[in-house]
C-alpha cells in the first residue's frame, strides 16, 4: 500500500520511545471494549512471561547479510519475496527494476528492467518464473531474466497487489488496486478473463486461505470470498482508518493498521487477531514494537513476525493472547532515516528478508546452514522436478545464466 501521506515518527505511531504503549484514548478502547464495556486497561508494560524460542536448526535470528540493491543509490525497495521454488530472494524497486539474489549469501543472480518509470508494486514466484506487478501492467519473466509476457488493459489502473490461487485454481491470478473491481487473469491462457466488483474502496491487500480469498480495502475492512464464485461470504472491520498489513494462516487472520483521529492517520497499537472458526475477534495482542507489517512464520504454528517502520521486529504467538510475546525486539541494521517498506518470510522459517526506502536488503537467518525452502528445485529445460542442488551447483547455475542478465 501507498502510505506516503502517513507520518511514521514515534509520536504519530503512538509509541512513546520507552518500549511501552499507552492505549488510553485509542481506537481499540472505542471499538473493542471488555465484557462489561469497560475497554482495555490503560498504560503500563504488557505483562508476559519471557520465552526463549528454539528454532528448527537451533539458535536465534541474526542479521547475516545487508546489500545495497541495484539502483539502491536512487530508488528504494518497494517489493520483496522469497522464491518458493528456488534458493532466491527477489527485489523490486521504485524505479521499475527487479533483481534476484542467490542463497543466504545474497549473491546477485539476475537483474532486469520491467518498466521504465513505474515502481514494482508486488512480486510473486511461480513455476514459470517471477510475476512483477506495476501500477498499470502485469509481467512474467523467467528466473534467468528472459521476458515471457507483459499484460496491459484499461482495467489495470493503480494496481497494488496480486494473488495466485492454490490447488485446482492455480491457473487463476487475482489483481487488486485502488479501483472498484478485482481483475482475474488466466496464467495458462495468458489472458484477462473477468472482473469482480469489490466496491469503491478497492482491494489493496490480497491473501490466500484454504477456504477463502481474503482482501483488505482502504477503510480497514477484511472481506472473505468464496474462491470458486468470488462471492462475499463474511467481513471484519479490523481498523477504523485503514489497513497497513494483514496475513492469514490456518484459523487465524492477523492485522495491523491505522485509525483516523481528528483528521490524522494514527498507527494502531495492537495486532488484531480474528478466529475463522467462530468468525469473531480474539483478544488484541499488544506488541513491543509499533506494528506496521506482519507475516505468519510457516512451520511455527501460530507464530507472527511483527515489524515496525523503524526496523524493530519481534515474534508473537497469535494463538496465545495471554502469553503472546515469543521474543524481545530485534533491530534491522538500517540508518535512522530509513523506513522498512516491505518484508517476507522464507517457507522454511529459517530466514526473513527486509527492504527499506533507502535501497537496502537485510537478511535475518537462523542456524548454521539456513535454506529458504526445504525442497528447492533447480531449473531445467523440461521443468521436471529435481532434488535440491547444493550451494556449489547453484553457483554454477548462476554463472551459466550470466548471458541472460541485463544489468542496470
Q: What is the mean pLDDT of residues 168-173?
A: 92
Residue 339: burial class (beta carbons within 10 Å; 0-12, 13-18, 19+): middle
Range with the poorest average pLDDT among 108-112, 214-218, 380-384:
380-384
Which is higher by pLDDT, 18 or 153? 153
**Domain locations in the chain?**
48-373
Residue entry with cell 527499506: 356
d(CA 328, CA 347): 22
Residue entry with cell 492505549: 23
CATH number 3.40.50.720 given to 48-373: no
pLDDT at 264 over 90: no
Q: What is the mean pLDDT of residues 36-65?
A: 47
The DSSP output letter for 401 is: G
Give pLDDT tens digits for 8-49: 444 344 444 443 334 444 444 444 444 333 333 333 333 333
d(CA 82, CA 31): 36
d(CA 292, CA 271): 9
Query: What distances in angstroms separate CA 18 from CA 45, 290, 300, one per listed residue?
Result: 10, 12, 29
**pLDDT confidence of residue 100:** 98
Range with the poorest average pLDDT among 61-75, 319-333, 345-359:
319-333
Range with the poorest average pLDDT among 9-18, 107-116, 214-223, 366-375:
9-18
pTM above the 0.75 mark? Answer: yes
pLDDT at 137 over 50: yes
Query: What distances in angstroms separate CA 311 from CA 61, 92, 250, 362, one per listed residue?
Result: 14, 19, 27, 10
**pLDDT confidence of residue 261:** 83
pLDDT at 379 over 80: no
Q: What is the mean pLDDT of residues 61-70?
A: 96
Give pLDDT tens digits for 98-130: 999 999 999 999 999 999 999 999 999 999 999
pLDDT at 85 over 90: yes
Selection from 7-16, 62-71, 253-262 with the highest mean pLDDT: 62-71
Amino acid at each position: 500500500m501507498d502510505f506516503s501521506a502517513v507520518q511514521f515518527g514515534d509520536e504519530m505511531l503512538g509509541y512513546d520511545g520507552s518500549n511501552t504503549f499507552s492505549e488510553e484514548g485509542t481506537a481499540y478502547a472505542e471499538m473493542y471494549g471488555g465484557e462489561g464495556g469497560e475497554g482495555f486497561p490503560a498504560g503500563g508494560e504488557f505483562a508476559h512471561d519471557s520465552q526463549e524460542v528454539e528454532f528448527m536448526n537451533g539458535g536465534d535470528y541474526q542479521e547475516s547479510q545487508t546489500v545495497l540493491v541495484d539502483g539502491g543509490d536512487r530508488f528504494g525497495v518497494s517489493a520483496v519475496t522469497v522464491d518458493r521454488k528456488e534458493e532466491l530472494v527477489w527485489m523490486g524497486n521504485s524505479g521499475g527494476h527487479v533483481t534476484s539474489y542467490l542463497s543466504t549469501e545474497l549473491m546477485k543472480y539476475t537483474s532486469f528492467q520491467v518498466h521504465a518509470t513505474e515502481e514494482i508494486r508486488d512480486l510473486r514466484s511461480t513455476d514459470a518464473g517471477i510475476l512483477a506487478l506495476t501500477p498499470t501492467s502485469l509481467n512474467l519473466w523467467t528466473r534467468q531474466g528472459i521476458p515471457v509476457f507483459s499484460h496491459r488493459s484499461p482495467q489495470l489502473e493503480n494496481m497494488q497487489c496480486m494473488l495466485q490461487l492454490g490447488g485446482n485454481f492455480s491457473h487463476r491470478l487475482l489483481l487488486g488496486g485502488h479501483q472498484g473491481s478485482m481483475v482475474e487473469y488466466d496464467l495458462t491462457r495468458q489472458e484477462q478473463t473477468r472482473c469482480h466488483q469489490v466496491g469503491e474502496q478497492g482491494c489493496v491487500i490480497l491473501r490466500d486461505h484454504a477456504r477463502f480469498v481474503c482482501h483488505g480495502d482502504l477503510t480497514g475492512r477484511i472481506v472473505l470470498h468464496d474462491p470458486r464464485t468470488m462471492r462475499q461470504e463474511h467481513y471484519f472491520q479490523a481498523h477504523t482508518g485503514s489497513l497497513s498489513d494483514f496475513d492469514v494462516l490456518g484459523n487465524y487472520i492477523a492485522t495491523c493498521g491505522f485509525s483516523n483521529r481528528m483528521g490524522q492517520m494514527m498507527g494502531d497499537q495492537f495486532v488484531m487477531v480474528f478466529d475463522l472458526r467462530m468468525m469473531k475477534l480474539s483478544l488484541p495482542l499488544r506488541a513491543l514494537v509499533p506494528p506496521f507489517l506482519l507475516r505468519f512464520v510457516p512451520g511455527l504454528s501460530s507464530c507472527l513476525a511483527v515489524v515496525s517502520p523503524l526496523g524493530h521486529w519481534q515474534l508473537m504467538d497469535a494463538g496465545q493472547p495471554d502469553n503472546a510475546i515469543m521474543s524481545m525486539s530485534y533491530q534491522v541494521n538500517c540508518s535512522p532515516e530509513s523506513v522498512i517498506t516491505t518484508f517476507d518470510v522464507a517457507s522454511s522459517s529459517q530466514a526473513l528478508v527486509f527492504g527499506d526506502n533507502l535501497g537496502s536488503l537485510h537478511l535475518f537467518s537462523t542456524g548454521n546452514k539456513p535454506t529458504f525452502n526445504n525442497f528447492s528445485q533447480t531449473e531445467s529445460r523440461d521443468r521436471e522436478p529435481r532434488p535440491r542442488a547444493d550451494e556449489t551447483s547453484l553457483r554454477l547455475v548462476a554463472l551459466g545464466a550470466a548471458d541472460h542478465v541485463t544489468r542496470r
